Amino acid sequence: MPNSSRPPARQRLPRADRLAQLIETARAIVRQEGADALTLGHLAERSGVTRPVVYDHFGTRNQLLKALYEDYDLRRDAVLEESLKDAPMSLEARAQAIARTYVECVLNEGTDIPGVAAALAGSPELETFRRETRLRFIGRCRQILEPCLAAGRIEDARLWAMLGAADSLSEAVLRGDLPDAVGEAELTRLILNLTTA
């Protein structure tokens, strides 16, 4: 007769699958318990793996935070590229795609990413990484919008203002201070104003 009190056998996953599982579990920890609760030991426990497995993938908590933020960044980029596939080559359509993607992705992540972003601000290394991801997003927005402009170039300050507005409006939508459609419409309007003024 099998012993029903014995824990299930651990399953050995390919490295990429294990990494995906660890990232997903880390996101769940941040969502349910907050970013402060995210430690490598806690991640190992919640994932049902030994600590060396987690340390092999991330090494440090900072590397785990970077991996979480990078995962979000890549997923947001994929959503943006998908929304641009069918968008007409007009400034308004492209501004709408950026606004919709930004707000939707923040809503889909809930409080996960703001908590991770706050934790990233805790060390110079992580702040540098976060700045690099923001610069990459601004660069992509430039590539998306500039072909639709007669002037051809958007000033850096305007792109930073656009990113600040995107952060603020999407956080207001997330908190319930603004309806989704209002946040997206206002962000679209701001992008248009910043790129054509």
On the CB side of 81, CA atoms within 13 Å amount to 8
Angle between helices 61-85 and 124-145 (to 10 degrees): 10
Place of tokens 């990494």: 19
Q: Return the CATH architecture of domain 66-196.
A: Orthogonal Bundle (1.10)
User: Hey, where are the domains in the chain?
Assistant: 12-59, 66-196
* Burial of residue 42 (number of CB atoms within 10 Å: 0-12, 13-18, 19+): middle
- Cα–Cα nearest to 46, from 63, 24, 65: 24
State the pLDDT at residue 116. Answer: 83
So what's the pLDDT on residue 2? 52
Please say whether the beta carbons of 96 and 84 come within 8 A. no
Q: How many helices (H) and strands (E) does the chain have?
A: 9, 0
For residue 109, the model assigns a pLDDT of: 80
Q: What are phi and psi of 153, to 5 degrees?
A: -135, 135
Contact status, residue 135 vs residue 152, Cβ threshold 8 Å:
no
d(CA 22, CA 43): 7
pLDDT at 10: 58
User: What pLDDT, on a 0 to 100 scale, did the predictor assign at position 157?
Assistant: 96
Pick the CATH number of 12-59 from 1.10.10.60, 2.60.120.10, 3.40.50.300, 3.30.2130.30: 1.10.10.60
Give the C-alpha separation, 54 to 81, whole Å: 31
Q: Which residues of the chain have pLDDT under 70?
A: 1-11
